[in-house]
């Protein structure tokens, strides 16, 4: 994947995380890519397991603070090379353009 596309996807992921758009799919996709359980992701973000579960099931959306924590966590994972845009994320971004 070329660097420009990767940067554009990273910006879109950040924007989605900040705005809470399609949050349930985004949280689940990122958690799966990092091979984390809901409990492990919750611990990383400083929230409860139940909170992550509700985000993924679309029952609630992250608060502003949680969105900021999620964004920071994703940026850290990208810097470490542990998080890269997947086909699932790319497809989600393409469908949201319509």
Q: Is 24 left (phi over 0), alpha (psi -120 to 50) or beta?
A: alpha
Beta-carbon count within 10 A of 52 CB = 26
> What percent of the chain has a predicted confidence (pLDDT) above 70?
63
pTM of the model: 0.70
Which structural domains are found in the chain, ordered by start? 3-96 (1.10.260.40)
- Provide the pLDDT for residue 20: 47
Residue 51's closest CA among 34, 69, 63? 63
Q: pLDDT-based confidence at 63, cuts 50/70/90?
A: confident
Average pLDDT of the segment spanning 65-92: 79
């Amino acid at each position: 994947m070329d660097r420009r596309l990767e940067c554009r996807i990273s910006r879109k992921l950040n924007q989605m995380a900040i705005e809470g758009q399609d949050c349930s799919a985004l949280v689940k996709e990122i958690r799966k890519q990092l091979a984390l359980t809901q409990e492990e992701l919750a611990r990383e973000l400083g929230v409860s397991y139940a909170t992550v579960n509700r985000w993924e099931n679309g029952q609630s959306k992250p608060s502003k603070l949680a969105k900021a924590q999620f964004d920071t966590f994703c940026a850290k994972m990208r810097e470490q090379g542990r998080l890269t845009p997947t086909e699932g994320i790319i497809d989600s971004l393409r469908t949201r353009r319509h």
